[in-house]
Amino acid sequence: MTALVIALVLAAGLIALGAWGPKLVHAAGPSFRRRPRIAVGLLGTGIFLWIAAALSLAPLLVWAGTGPQILSDRASQICVSCLQATNPFASAQLPWAPPALLTISFSLLALAGLIAIGLVRLVRTERSTEQLSRDLHAQGESRTIAGATVLVVPDSRPLAFTFPARRGGIVLSTQTLHQLNENELAGVLAHEKAHLSQRHHLTSQILEALPLLVRRIPLVSATLQSIAELQEIAADNAAQREVDTATLASALLKMGGGSAPSMPAERQGVAVLNAAGSGRIQQLVGAHAGKTNFRPALALTLCFALLGAAWLAICTPYLQALLQGCW
């Protein structure tokens, strides 16, 4: 099998998973909800494996053929020597191909662009989060509630959310304190503390750094939505170790958790995680009911594993040549 055939197979697999992967993600939802923290790690890793495999198509195509010479003789000899050292398909090369330098440069430029855009998005998110935290700290007051340090802000809406720990941690509104009883409040605080202890903000910020073009890929979009849901379920699971399910469900109902997030518009686009969320009460009440089909989750895991194996198989020879030298 030549490098060109493998590249075509890999490209077809990437397109198929990118387009129809959301069906697998959705079908795997019930099994993922049983182990939400493991599922978040799997799905987050899967996104980056898909991107890595897509970027490795260009280095793979370089092995498919010799291509025209666009460098000086000396530089060309060095490049040919390095490529021959990495290429397991040297005996099956085609007499035509794009220049290797241009092909690899495309992949490197794409990688550099992803990193640059990601850093810009991270900086913007960090600045927005810092500004919102500063504004809320100017309005609110710090209190100790049920052993947790909480920023209480005046607001007529029942709000509960967390900043990253370095930006202030848990925030509650005065309406939340007014509406919830002691046990319900303990459940909400346990939920928010779980976001902090399980470092959900870090995961969310890393994924938020993905460029919009990547986020519009159906697989990536569905995966990001699933990760957000699973983080809330993981926090709910932690809260259920502090209070009973009925109490936690009651708190979510009072905060609007049965319909839409109680997050005001001005707080969107920053690194905060809120306690309310769509479908959470139904998930709490019906958690782990009935049999679960694990086959979609296993199929998705296998797809990600194959992408990771392909990426390693392509990149390892290049890395070895770079570290050991090839001339």
Q: Which residue has the tokens 């810009």?
A: 120
Instruction: Specify the pLDDT at position 266.
Output: 41
Instruction: Specify the pLDDT at position 271.
Output: 54
- Kindly state the percentage of the chain with pLDDT values over 90: 42
pTM higher than the cut 0.95: no
Q: Which residues pair with 144 in a beta bridge?
A: 149
Instruction: Specify the pLDDT at position 325.
Output: 58
Model confidence at 118, in pLDDT bands (50, 70, 90)?
very high
pLDDT tens digit sequence for 248-268: 888 888 887 433 334 443 444
Instruction: Specify the pLDDT at position 167.
Output: 82
Model confidence at 17, in pLDDT bands (50, 70, 90)?
very high
Q: DSSP readout, 213-275?
A: HHHTSHHHHHHHHHHHHHHHHHHHHHHHTTS-HHHHHHHHHHTTTTTS----GGGTTSS-EES
pLDDT tens digit sequence for 55-105: 998 888 877 765 545 444 554 554 555 655 565 655 555 555 556 667 778
Q: How far apart are alpha carbons 209 and 123 in whole angstroms?
A: 9
Whether the Cβ atoms of residue 245 and residue 263 lie closer than 8 Å to each other: no
How remote is the C-alpha of 323 from its chain's centroid?
A: 31
Instruction: Specify the pLDDT at position 98.
Output: 58
- Range of 69-78, 79-88, 132-141, 302-311 with top mean pLDDT: 302-311
pLDDT tens digit sequence for 191-230: 999 999 999 999 999 998 999 999 999 999 999 999 999 9
More confident: 53 or 315: 53
| CA dihedral sign, ordered 220, 221, 222, 225 | positive
Average pLDDT across the chain, whole number: 81
Which residues, 6+ apart, have CB-to-CB distance to 84 below 8 Å? 90, 326
147's enclosing H/E stretch is none
Instruction: Specify the pLDDT at position 305.
Output: 97
Q: How far apart are alpha carbons 122 and 209 in whole angstroms?
A: 6
Average pLDDT over every residue of 123-127: 90
Q: How far apart are alpha carbons 245 and 282 in whole angstroms?
A: 11
Average pLDDT over every residue of 144-156: 88
Model confidence at 155, in pLDDT bands (50, 70, 90)?
confident
Q: Are strands 170-173 and 148-153 parallel, antiparallel or unpaired?
A: parallel
Instruction: Specify the pLDDT at position 116.
Output: 96
**Pure H helices in 140-217:** 174-179, 182-197, 200-208, 212-215
Q: How far apart are alpha carbons 291 and 35 in whole angstroms?
A: 15
Q: From residue 8, give the alpha-carbon distance in Å to each of 2, 61, 239.
A: 10, 9, 48
Within 10 angstroms of residue 198's Cβ, the number of other Cβ atoms is: 17
Which residues, 6+ apart, have CB-to-CB distance to 308 below 8 Å? 49, 52, 53
Name the least confident of 27-36, 144-153, 250-259, 298-307.
250-259
